[in-house]
Amino acid sequence: MGLIETFAEKAIASGAYQPLDKVYVANKVRALVGDQDGDAQAGRSIAEQLVDLSIENGKIEDGQTEREILNEQLFDLLTPRRPPLTPASGRNTNVPRKPPLVGSTNFVPKTTTLR
């Protein structure tokens, strides 16, 4: 199994994606690192190996900034997403919103006194 497939399975295991999303995740990784895949090596993280593979494929230059940006993009794929706010989540989404205040918010009416 190649690096890209291993990373896709890791993303699914993290809970960020469902098993049916494996092809989608693999395609997202291919877009970042290139189409040429490599074999996983023991002792190094998969993300680190994918960054090196991206340099070999000519997708990024071999610089600290480019490496860090790609590494963050890969880890973003491993981060689970927050579920959307829906009635199924148990939150009341039908609460009407208050209109924004217009004008001065510290208006105090003056009282008039009769003489």
Section 35-64 average pLDDT: 93
Residue 109 predicted with pLDDT over 70: no
Q: Provide the strand spans (E) within 1-115.
A: none
Quick check: helix, strand or coil at residue 2? strand
Across 62-94, b (16+ Cβ under 10 Å) vs e yields eeeeebeebbebbeebbeeeeeeeeeeeeeeee
Section 13-36 average pLDDT: 94
- As given in the structure block, the two tokens for residue 25 are 């995740």
Identify the band that residue 42 occupies on the pLDDT scale cut at 50, 70 and 90: confident
Residues with Cβ < 8 Å from 5, sequence gap 6 or more?
A: 22, 26, 37
Residue 54 predicted with pLDDT over 70: yes
Identify the band that residue 80 occupies on the pLDDT scale cut at 50, 70 and 90: confident
Residue 105 predicted with pLDDT over 60: no
Predicted confidence (pLDDT) per residue in 6-19, tens digit:
999 999 999 999 99
Residues with Cβ < 8 Å from 46, sequence gap 6 or more?
A: 3, 6, 7, 10, 40
Residues above pLDDT 90, as percent of the chain? 59
Write the single-letter amino acid at 74: L
